Structure 1
Amino acid sequence: MASVVESKKSCTVNPLKMSQPLGASFAFLGLDACMPVMHGSQGCTSFGLVLLVRHFKEAIPLQTTAMNEVTSILGGYDNIEAALVNIRKRAAPKVIAICSTGLTETKGDDVDGYIVTVRKRKPELDDTEIVYVSTPDYVGAFEDGYKHAITAIVKALVKPLPVKADQITLLPGSHLSPGDIDELREIIESFGLSVIVLPDISGSLDGHIAPDWRGTTLGGTTLEQIRAAGGSAFTLGVGEQTREGAEALREIAGTPLEIFERLTGLEVNDRFLQRLAQISGKPVPAKYRRQRSQLLDAMLDGHFYTGGVKVAIGAEPDLLLAVGGLLHEMGAELRCCISTTKSPAHALLPAEQVVLGDLEDLERGAADAGCDLLITHSHGRQAAERLNKPLLRIGFPVFDRIGNAHRRMVGYRGTMDFIFEIANLMIDQIVHHHPGDWPLTPEAAAAAAPSAGAGCCGAPLTPTTLAEASA
């Protein structure tokens, strides 16, 4: 179990974390015909919008109440009313989702009260659902905002319904890509189950060319599906950040739940498929038995290049656990772990310590520990260059690579893809530092490893074991 230490620096240098309002907006982007709104200044919204556009390479619908110096002091009711009426008139969304910012939270705007007043004054908003979530950006991080947004959606829109035995609700964590959600949907539906994904960015941020432009999100969880979640027989969550929303569903509709700490790895996917088999009453499809066998082979092939590698990771808690847990199983050493916010997920991380800090902490920790590989988002590229170490980009934002929406890290196939990505990156380093020795024999691979490593089962990597595994 990792101990958690907060960085005591006077200021943040090269921030790792993103804000709560941005995380909440990201969750709202997974709802169909929705318009997310940040209740704050234009600058707050513009900054978040730029990050989302650069990561997904897509047009992002995101509005602001455009608070200024005067309205920040006197209160933002007029701005909220004007924003709601204008958005309803121009874009006609089915859902308007408001998240607060540090500016309006510091003032203490009673947004819930504002919404009640607006509904009385503006009957034209009667056909529009309005969801509000409190997300001050001076506390918490991206994952916290996403977590609170899911809970706000459930509490505002879900009501108890008669249970459908073959319907489940899937709550994906913010660290899952549209490709990850598509993979999980395919797995669940292969058991003959129907699934409601909440929120579903695979419908809105998957990089498709839409036939029209409405000014709102194009795809995602529909309002009807959200309401239908009150009749699901089971709730599955991926990541500790989904527990709060799953428990809200249980309180409202009595839906039983199970939270999977991650779905990147072998054992966790075994448990996931076993749970689906229990819910559906059907055996695990043969294709997943085949995929499991392929993953085992991938772990065997890949651990030659990950065993003993010293890794520095900077990520949100659930993503840190997903990546760090798999690397530990592949024989890597988690020497430096930096995260953004407190989470029960840290207790499950196979590392000595997690520091709540920034990318400067990651750079210094990686240098002190002699790490061979840095793993974080695109803002870590300068640190990797200064340390002359490879960088594996994960998380949000990744703006200097394309295809983020289709990257897959869950399930047997996603885990296998991620192992190949890591192993190939390390092979590139071996080729760079030992160009005359390529292609490597098992003996040379062992000699070129960054340190005396361990295999996926804890056995030391030696020329003998490498040769036996290759035979």
Structure 2
Amino acid sequence: MAELLAPTKPLAVNPLKACQPIGASLAFLGLADCLPLEHGARGCTSFNKLFFMRHFNEPIALQTTAMDQITTVIGADSNVIEALATICERDKPKVIGLISTGLSSMQGADLPRTIVEFYAKLPEYADVKVIAAAATDTLGCLESGFALAVEAIIEAVAPGRSSVRLPRQVNVLASAMLTPGDVEAIKAWIEAYGLTPIVLPDIADSLDGHLIDAGFSTLTYGGTTLDDIGRMSQSAATLVIGRSLDRAADRLRERTGVPDHRFDSLMGLDASDAFSGALGSIANCAMPAKIARKRAQFLDAMVDTQFQIGGARVAIAADAGLCAALVSFFTEMGAEVIAAVAAAKAPQLANLPLDSVVIGDLEDLEWLASDRGADLIVTNSHGADIAKRTGAALLRAGFPIYDSYGAYAESFIGYGGGRRTLFRIADLLAANFHDLRPYHSRFRTEPETGPGTASRSLSR
């Protein structure tokens, strides 16, 4: 059991976490024909949009109600209604994700009531689904904001129980710890068992970095459709990936009656075997040959990299779910996790095989990595300077990653993703140790030099 050490600093010196509105916006970006609308100031949304654009290297659909000093004091309901009407008229979305921020939450905005007022004043837009998600900046982190939005989507759109069951269809609730590359790998994994997945939200379909025939759209480029969500009650099972989505999973099970299988993560051999076992049980079949081969390749990679990774001293900083997944992965691979820093508290952190987990920022990570001699630091791109100062290698993981092309397409999960991750880690560690000099004992005598030395030493 790990002790959770709460922060004692009055502020974050080198922030680790991203705010809840970013996480909520990310979840809505996984819906098709959607436009997230943040109810707050222009600067907040501009800042969030910049983070997304640097991370995904793509244009991102994101709007704001543009609260100012006056509307913050007297109320901004008219801003919300005007913004919703403008978006419906100009962009013609099927879904609008209306997200509260710290500013609107402190102002006391009642988004559900405002949505009712919007439909009453403008009934011509009744076919546009407006979903409200309360995600203030003052609490949680990206991961919790993402989970709140998924829960709001299920509450607003998920159907009731159905008498129809499609035995080859499964639901997937994908948490914020998963990259678009991860989600794409999960869909291929499920399809290998002959099953059809409905992923909520499907950022692999909308944020994988693809061009569209139209060239540009103010809405999302893909994602889970409302029709897809409407068919979730007919699935044989729901696969929930990430403990942060437990409340959303509970609500989906209550609404649809579909049984679920829950996984803390899909990183590492044990987690991958558990997921494959669940798929085999649902599909009533043995592990497909292509998956078995990937598993064998992963095992071989574990053997190939054991001398580089085994015993390596690793310091990790991320949102709680990803932090827990990375700790479990490195521990399973034989590395020594000397420090773990999470952006916010979560129940699974207490179950990690560590003495303690710090709820803190990247300054805490730097102190721990420096004091305990980390060989490898695992965090987002803000850890690059820390790695330089401490002399450790850096494995980029989490959000944001803005100094590496295609980071969003990387996959850490499953047998294939685990194999590639092991090779990447081993390469980083090997490259970071290239300047080490060989050890020479102080008792060694200087070798003879000059002609014939080699022949004389051989003759002895």
The TM-score normalised by the length of structure 1 is 0.91
Aligned length: 436
CA contact (8 A) 1:338 1:358 kept: yes
Give the corresponding residue for 2:189: 187
Give the corresponding residue for 2:397: 394
For residues 235-384 of structure 1, the aligned pairs below 5 Å read 235-384=238-387
Q: What percent of counterpart residues are identical?
A: 41
Give the corresponding residue for 1:11: 11
Give the corresponding residue for 1:138: 138
Give the corresponding residue for 1:462: none
Give the corresponding residue for 1:163: 165
Q: Among residues 201, 205, 208, which one is paired with 2:207 in the alignment?
A: 205
CA contact (8 A) 2:393 2:432 kept: yes
Give the corresponding residue for 1:173: 175
Gaps of 5+ in 1: 438-471
Give the corresponding residue for 2:453: none
SS in 2 for 1:187: helix
SS in 2 for 1:132: strand
- The 1-side partners of 2:376 and 2:404 are apart by 18
- The 1-side partners of 2:345 and 2:230 are apart by 31
SS in 2 for 1:58: coil
Larger radius of gyration: 2
Aligned-pair CA distance for 1:279: 0.6
Aligned-pair CA distance for 1:61: 0.4
CA contact (8 A) 1:334 1:350 kept: no
Aligned-pair CA distance for 1:163: 2.5
- The 1-side partners of 2:107 and 2:43 are apart by 17
- The 2-side partners of 1:308 and 1:363 are apart by 20
Give the corresponding residue for 2:220: 217
- The 1-side partners of 2:7 and 2:200 are apart by 34
Aligned-pair CA distance for 1:413: 0.4
Aligned-pair CA distance for 1:44: 0.7
Aligned-pair CA distance for 1:345: 2.1
Aligned-pair CA distance for 1:78: 0.3
- Determine if the alignment matches structure 1 residue 93 to structure 2 residue 83: no
Letter in 2 for 1:409: F
Give the corresponding residue for 1:63: 63
**1:3-34 alpha-carbon deviations (Å, 9 max, x no partner):** 11111101111100000000000010000100
The TM-score normalised by the length of structure 2 is 0.93
Aligned-pair CA distance for 1:433: 2.2
CA contact (8 A) 2:261 2:278 kept: no
Give the corresponding residue for 1:444: none
**1:86-119 alpha-carbon deviations (Å, 9 max, x no partner):** 0001110000001100001011111110111111
Letter in 2 for 1:184: I
SS in 2 for 1:131: strand
- The 2-side partners of 1:426 and 1:265 are apart by 19
Give the corresponding residue for 1:36: 36
**1:248-294 alpha-carbon deviations (Å, 9 max, x no partner):** 11110111111111111011111111111111112210111111111
Aligned alpha-carbon RMSD (Å): 1.2
Give the corresponding residue for 1:422: 425
Deviates further, 356-365 or 155-164: 155-164
Give the corresponding residue for 1:465: none
SS in 1 for 2:433: helix
CA contact (8 A) 1:242 1:259 kept: no
- The 2-side partners of 1:382 and 1:429 are apart by 15
Give the corresponding residue for 1:117: 117
SS in 1 for 2:231: helix
CA contact (8 A) 2:172 2:200 kept: yes
Aligned-pair CA distance for 1:432: 2.8
- Determine if the alignment matches structure 1 residue 50 to structure 2 residue 53: no
Letter in 1 for 2:80: I
